[in-house]
A and B are shown apart, each in its own frame.
Chain A
């Protein structure tokens, strides 16, 4: 098992079965046993199904997939929390995880006491912790509060302390599971810097996130898990596009605009997207959407109680389900408080200036995720809409760039060069701009 180079991770034919319900009380076990006798074995779930892969030391793998795809199970197997039902998991070197920051923290104990405890849980010896104590405290920026019980800490301070300990474990294999969903923007930035520094040191990193931008910027390779199986693996770009098309496939059927009190899930949901509309911004053009003009996607929502959210994700798709654009509320201006809590009813406008879609029929999908950015808690879809554009080539593609043609003719020395240029789409005249009323 340990003849692998340090930092190697290898799954060979790994399957993991969970039994649902059943055990927990004697009565439950008896019921489970009797159902087994009757041959009713349907209450089990294969979280991973014959998964094999190998990660070489020093590489960063992005693990992506919808909820329940088996990502967390894979991490649990890697960190030895649980054992495979079949197959073999081999990891060489020290594994550490940025999964549960501040695990084992006790609110009554001081920051310093908790550093020792948490460090020991992560596998450090007391001696190692003592040696690194000053660094850990400095890293956490909690010098003034280090002898205060952590029950007086804010949640941000709590996470910072947990991260400071976890960052000093010096692993050979690091597992990261959506920790970046907690904490503020600067914390997120430090996490990323930390991961980059570890990568420099040749640490193998396995990174689970729903934030595809981050996966793209951090990882060398990616693996897409769907339903416990590897659906795609290889370069980040190929895997991500496989994932995006899988996402669209999965979300399209049940993401229709839903009235708040219709039967089923929406009635119990805390947050509902009541409508998604695509509106032309200008009052001219009789409500038509034009490629070179501005447009607004208006998302109306209803929240039964103030609802913390992670991210609003707006995708534009052509009628044939080609993804044309994907915008999310994190990508815009860092971490914006406007999008942290939704309460009551309201609407969110997303302005496109200009729209830049070519002639064709499109629709917009909206998804709102929970604060951990791992669950879609509300979704909606617009009616199909048509975009038109007066100067259309036969096959315009999906995107209408704003271009400028420049033509420079080579001229004889001493003569004035002749320069011709033109814009497309044509610049709006001042009068049109006024009537646009932006």
Chain B
């Protein structure tokens, strides 16, 4: 395991350059370029705002629904983008994987890195939106940093597992979009966690994204720290997934070049 980390460190420049490449090629031939990073969650926020504040009323307390949903949709888009690009990354670059040696985790990790760049750009819009709605940052907003680290860890874990699985089973390609949808509905992205019935709460917060998204909301919108018990459960699940994911990826890695 130590050898693997050393290799990854040795190839850190490749990780950086490949991330850059992912960002560059994703927007190079698109008309709107990097604006898509902002547009994707924004369009969803507009749609959800219309549906959940005009058609079906969802109680979001004092928070206007557009801010309520956009603050959650931006980190959610980071996860879903990472999943869709990261899980396909090994199979999409099979000519590299079968011809040249480098630590394979660089490909999925770079996809997560590229999605992180998108997140950074959208975060600027979030900040502007908060100011526009008169929501001022507080010290509690610094919680965003550990929340983001936790979310990155979770994303990396799922992407590692998914990308390795896809090499073995191409079925994964069809499962991923479906699971991402299901996962979003199991996460308080478009509704507040408060409407989840009490008896489901314990189970509900084993989903790390539930605690993370609720955390972003409470720290950014209400200026209160996240619910530590909820978050701890999610962090535990994330840690288990991350360790399991790394081990699984490293176990599967020698077979990649033979199977693809």
Contact = CB atoms under 8 A, between A and B. Distances in A.
A23 B93 CA distance: 19
A26 interface: yes
Contacts of B170: 24-25
A68 to B, nearest CB: 16
A276 to B, nearest CB: 37
Given A97-B100, A120-B18, A123-B102, 11 more contacts: A76-B98, A76-B257, A80-B101, A81-B97, A82-B257, A100-B100, A106-B21, A108-B24, A108-B28, A116-B17, A120-B13
A247 interface: no
B100 A109 contact: no
Contacts of B259: 23-24
Size class of the contact patch on chain A: 20 to 34
Interface string B1-13: 0000000001101
B173 to A, nearest CB: 10
B29 interface: yes
Given A83-B254, A108-B29, A125-B13, A25 B100 contact: no
Interface string B227-246: 00000000000000000000
Nearest to A16: B258
A23 B21 CA distance: 31
Of B11, B17, B29, B97, the most chain A CB neighbours within 10 A belong to: B17
A25 B169 contact: yes
B203 interface: no
A205 interface: no
A43 to B, nearest CB: 14
Closest 9 CB pairs of A and B: A120-B14, A100-B99, A80-B101, A83-B254, A126-B13, A108-B28, A82-B257, A81-B257, A120-B17
6 contacts: A103-B96, A104-B100, A108-B24, A108-B29, A117-B21, A120-B13
Interface string A295-326: 00000000000000000000000000000000
Contact of A113 (B11, B24, B98, B171): B24
Contact of A25 (B16, B96, B97, B171): B171
Contacts of B101: 79-81, 95
Interface in A77-129: 79-83, 95, 97, 99-100, 103-104, 106, 108-109, 113, 116-117, 120-127
Contacts of A126: 13, 16-17
Interface string A125-155: 1110000000000000000000000000000
A29 interface: yes
A123 B11 contact: yes
A25 B175 CA distance: 12
Interface of A: 18-19, 23-26, 29, 76, 79-83, 95, 97, 99-100, 103-104, 106, 108-109, 113, 116-117, 120-127
A238 B171 CA distance: 51
Contact of A29 (B95, B98, B169): B169
B98 A81 contact: yes
A77 B101 CA distance: 10
Nearest to B10: A123
Interface of B: 10-11, 13-14, 16-18, 21, 24-25, 28-29, 93, 95-102, 168-171, 254, 257-259
A23 B168 contact: yes
Of A18, A116, A121, A125, the most chain B CB neighbours within 10 A belong to: A121
Contacts of B98: 76, 81
A19 B168 CA distance: 13
Contacts, number: 81
Nearest to A82: B257
A109 B25 contact: yes
Given A81-B99, A103-B100, A120 B11 contact: yes
Contacts of B97: 81
Nearest to A99: B99
A132 to B, nearest CB: 14
A343 to B, nearest CB: 29
A76 B13 CA distance: 24
Contacts of A104: 93, 96, 100
B102 to A, nearest CB: 6
Contacts of A121: 14, 96, 100, 102
Nearest to A108: B28
A117 B98 CA distance: 17
Contacts of A97: 100
A117 B16 CA distance: 10
A26 B173 CA distance: 12
Contacts of A127: 13
Of A23, A29, A95, A99, the most chain B CB neighbours within 10 A belong to: A23
B25 A106 contact: yes
Contacts of A29: 168-169
A24 B169 contact: yes
Contacts of B254: 82-83
Contact of A26 (B14, B93, B171, B258): B171
B171 A103 contact: no
A79 B100 contact: yes
B258 A109 contact: no
A137 B87 CA distance: 35
Contacts of A26: 169, 171
A82 B259 CA distance: 10
A121 B107 CA distance: 11
A407 B10 CA distance: 73
Nearest to B99: A100
A231 B13 CA distance: 43
Nearest to B168: A23
B100 A122 contact: yes
B226 to A, nearest CB: 38
Given A24-B170, A100-B95, A121-B100, A82 B17 contact: no
A312 B170 CA distance: 41
Contacts of A117: 17-18, 21
B4 to A, nearest CB: 12
A232 B143 CA distance: 68
Contacts of B16: 126
Contacts of A79: 100-101
A83 to B, nearest CB: 4
Contacts of B257: 76, 81-82
B219 to A, nearest CB: 36
B165 to A, nearest CB: 11
